[in-house]
Structure formats: structure tokens, C-alpha cells
Amino acid sequence: MECKAIVDAVAVLQLAEEYTRRQAMELLTRIVEMLTRMCRRADPPARECP
């Protein structure tokens, strides 16, 4: 979330072109998706109590 806030701040301050900001947001989305999948794979399946 902090990374998105930085991209938003860059937009408000007009420090980068729209195309560059869009690319940054797409990359951030891909990174979050990748990390989410990795975390889900790392979690052991829940076991039921006998």
C-alpha cells in the first residue's frame, strides 16, 4: 500500500509522465499478485481437530 501511495504522490506532484505512472502501477499489481500466490502456497493446509 505504501508503494501505491508513493505513485499517487508522484502523480500529484507531477514528477512523472502518465505512461510511466501507469507502468509503475501495473508492475506493483503484478508484484502483489505474485507475493499473494507465494504466501498461499507456503501456508500449510488447515487440519481438522479429531
Domain boundaries, the chain: 2-42
pLDDT value of residue 41: 83
Per run of 10 residues, the mean pLDDT along the chain (length 50 residues) is 88 94 94 90 66
DSSP per residue, 31-45: HHHHHHHHHHHHSPP
DSSP annotation of 27: H
pLDDT value of residue 39: 87
* Predicted TM-score (pTM) of this structure: 0.69
Distance of CA 20 to CAs 7, 10, 13, 15, 49, Å? 10, 10, 14, 10, 51
